[in-house]
Amino acid sequence: MNIKREIESSVKDESLIEKRREQMIRGAVTLFKEKGFHRTTTREIAKAAGFSIGTLYEYIRTKEDVLYLVCDSIYDEVHSRLDRLDIEKGSISVLVSAIEHYYTLIDEMQDEFVVMYQESKSLPKDALNYVLNKELQMMAIFERLLTQCVENGEIQMTPKEVVMAAHHLFVQGQMWAFRRWALDDFTIQEFIDMQTKFLLQGMAGENISIQGAKS
């Protein structure tokens, strides 16, 4: 369930609220990435967004609100793109498409993903819980898709393996944002194709024991 934190605004025009908050997100993400959450001031966010500090406080109440908005913007985009797919169909082709949609989004929102995880450690407990719960909601979309694939006989996995696979593909995609500096020789499409291949090979089903490989 997509439960958003309520952020107070003294403005009643919803379209204007959305526009101004999008401007805030763009300005804040750049600042958070360069300076960190705590060293960035709301005045700097307002300037980067293109309006006054007074205008800023018409749309948010605290600096943490901006980080909530960043988090929500990521979740909303993930949800929007994966909603276009027939998750309930539960096929390998849908899984491949879902991975491509998600990894492409990471490519487009690299800074947002980096900021969300880089700054989450410095958040107060309630704010941190909000960010972590949003991540679990995103990951659950893939878990549901993998479960449907199992139920439809497309793949064979135990419930625990489904959970692990969902976490795996979710985190591996984020590597594109966090390890981008080391992956200059790869295009995003090459990254998607290779990661998808690795994931599908891992789920393909050879029952390989790792016991003999352990010292």
Instruction: Using alpha carbons, select from 117, 136, 121, 119 the residue that is nearest to residue 1.
Output: 136
Stretch among 24-38, 68-82, 152-166 having the lowest mean pLDDT: 68-82
CA-CA-CA-CA torsion sign (138, 144, 150, 152)? negative
Q: Quick one: CATH architecture of 67-203? A: Orthogonal Bundle (1.10)
CATH class of 10-61: mainly alpha
Cβ 98 vs Cβ 195: under 8 Å: no
Instruction: Tell me the three-class secondary structure of 7-64, residue by residue.
Output: CCCCCCCHHHHHHHHHHHHHHHHHHHHHHCCCCCCHHHHHHHHCCCHHHHCCCCCCHH
Cβ 108 vs Cβ 25: under 8 Å: no
Reported as a pLDDT band with limits 50, 70 and 90, residue 213 is very low
Q: Residue 3 in 3-state DSSP?
A: coil
Which distant-in-sequence residues (6+ apart) come within 8 Å of 124 by Cβ?
64
- 185 in the Ramachandran plot: left (φ > 0), alpha (ψ -120 to 50) or beta? alpha
Residue 130: how many CB atoms within 10 A of its CB? 20
* Tens-place pLDDT, residues 32-48: 888 988 899 999 999 99
Burial class (CB in 10 A: 0-12, 13-18, 19+), 191: buried
Cβ 174 vs Cβ 106: under 8 Å: yes
Residue type, 103: Y
* Annotated domain spans of the chain: 10-61, 67-203
214 has pLDDT over 70: no
> What is the rounded CA–CA span in Å between residue 46 and residue 44?
5
68 has pLDDT over 90: no
* Tens-place pLDDT, residues 121-174: 767 787 788 888 888 888 999 999 999 999 999 999 999 999 999 999 999 999
Please tell me whether the overall predicted TM-score, pTM, comes out greater than 0.85 for this model.
no
